[in-house]
């Protein structure tokens, strides 16, 4: 039997994507085969399909760093036929076929069983973005942050990580400040729980190495001058997590926030996080994420719509999370 997939090839200098019919023998090695139901389009997926970054390492390849579905076959201990599972990152869309297809075969240790409260669609509305947001919240807590510590800044607030981070943090009782370049979407951010909206321009230019204290915590997906300015504005013993580089991969800052204010900068890697961290993150998402707020962040498209979504991501026109129904 065949299945539908979005296949990326590189016949020349540019990456091309086409909807194709493949057979199970075209899948890569793994000990679990999954009937995929949903995937999602993340910023990393956009980088992969556009070629703006060297994400895909081998061609042809099925992109998509996330998927959720039901196990069809398994020789991996603890994962059985009929289990609902989610995969986030690992080698997906880099060296291994990913989630933009109706079937997948991967190593069992790449999978996490989906909490019963979530549907497979909910799971992809969360996706790597939401899982990264929760890893960031866990890092803030590990650094000692509590709602009583003070305001928490979330940059890239309209994006996937930012939207879900706001929903989680506000639900936990934090006062969240959302930084965005789209002030016209302030209503959406307030619905998710943001108490205040600021223009990203206030953070994106070169600033002083140390500045007035503003933030007790921050979740940053932007990098560059934005992250440097956040660090300069942290309160004493403040905690910042860094998970992205939308503005740039440089960090033109100073050691002063670290040695004068004892600030912590925690890196967030969602690709190779150990299984224990993934299970903890999904357990906390199950406990702490409001599904009503999650629904506000989500739109659904089909496989054929993915390239268009990628274009709109780079135009700054995508809000929140985009779920891909691979069977639509």
Question: Given this structure, which CATH class describes domain 2-114+297-325?
Answer: alpha beta
- The pLDDT of residue 319 is 87
In 3D space, the residue among 250, 266, 206, 200 whose CA is nearest the CA of residue 232 turns out to be: 206
- Express each pLDDT in 6-15 by its tens digit: 999 999 999 9
- Express each pLDDT in 143-168 by its tens digit: 999 999 999 999 999 999 999 999 99
Mean pLDDT estimate for the chain: 96
Per cent of the chain over pLDDT 90 is 95
Which regions of the chain carry the CATH code 3.40.50.720? 128-267
Asked if residues 124 and 326 have their Cβ atoms less than 8 Å apart, the reply is no
DSSP 138-177: HHHHHTT--GGG--EEESSTTSHHHHHHHHHHHHTT--EE
Please give the CATH number for the structural domain made up of 128-267.
3.40.50.720
Which regions of the chain carry the CATH code 3.90.180.10? 2-114+297-325
- The pLDDT of residue 92 is 97
- The pLDDT of residue 1 is 85
Asked if residues 88 and 128 have their Cβ atoms less than 8 Å apart, the reply is yes
Flag whether pLDDT at 303 surpasses 90. yes
- Express each pLDDT in 74-125 by its tens digit: 999 999 999 999 999 999 999 999 999 999 999 999 999 999 999 999 999 9
Segment 320-328 mean pLDDT? 95
Q: For residue 316, name the pLDDT band (cuts at 50, 70, 90).
A: confident
d(CA 271, CA 263): 25
Segment 26-33 mean pLDDT? 98
- Express each pLDDT in 245-275 by its tens digit: 999 999 999 999 999 999 999 999 999 999 9
**Pairing status of strand 152-154 against strand 215-220:** parallel
Residue matched to tokens 């906390």: 284
In 3D space, the residue among 78, 141, 63, 146 whose CA is nearest the CA of residue 112 turns out to be: 78
Q: For residue 65, name the pLDDT band (cuts at 50, 70, 90).
A: very high
């Amino acid at each position: 039997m065949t299945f539908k997939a979005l296949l990326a090839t590189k016949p020349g200098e540019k990456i091309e994507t086409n909807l194709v019919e493949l057979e199970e023998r075209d899948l890569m090695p793994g000990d679990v085969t999954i009937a995929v139901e949903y995937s999602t389009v993340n910023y990393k997926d956009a980088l992969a399909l556009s070629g703006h970054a060297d994400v895909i390492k081998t061609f042809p390849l099925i992109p998509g760093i996330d998927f959720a579905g039901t196990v069809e076959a398994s020789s991996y201990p603890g994962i059985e036929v009929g289990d609902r599972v989610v995969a986030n990152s690992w080698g997906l869309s880099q060296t291994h076929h990913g989630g933009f297809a109706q079937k997948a075969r991967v190593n069992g240790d790449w999978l996490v069983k989906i909490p019963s409260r979530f549907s497979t669609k909910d799971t992809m509305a969360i996706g790597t973005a939401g899982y990264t947001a929760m890893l960031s919240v866990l890092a803030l807590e590990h650094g000692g942050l509590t709602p009583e510590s003070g305001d928490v800044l979330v940059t890239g607030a309209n994006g996937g990580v930012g939207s879900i981070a706001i929903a989680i943090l506000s639900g936990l009782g934090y006062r969240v400040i959302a930084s965005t370049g789209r002030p016209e979407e302030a209503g959406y951010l307030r619905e998710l729980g943001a108490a205040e909206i600021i223009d990203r321009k206030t953070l994106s230019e070169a600033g002083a190495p140390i500045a007035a204290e503003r933030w007790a915590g921050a979740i940053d997906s932007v990098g560059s001058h934005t992250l440097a300015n956040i660090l300069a504005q942290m309160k004493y013993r403040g905690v910042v997590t860094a998970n992205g580089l939308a503005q740039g991969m440089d960090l033109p800052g100073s050691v002063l926030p670290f040695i004068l204010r004892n600030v912590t900068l925690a890196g967030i890697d969602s690709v190779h996080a150990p299984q224990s961290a993934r299970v903890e993150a999904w357990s906390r998402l199950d406990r702490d994420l409001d599904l009503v707020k999650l629904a506000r962040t989500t739109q659904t498209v089909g496989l054929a719509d993915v390239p268009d979504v990628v274009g709109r991501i780079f135009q700054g026109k995508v809000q929140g999370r985009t779920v891909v129904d691979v069977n639509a």
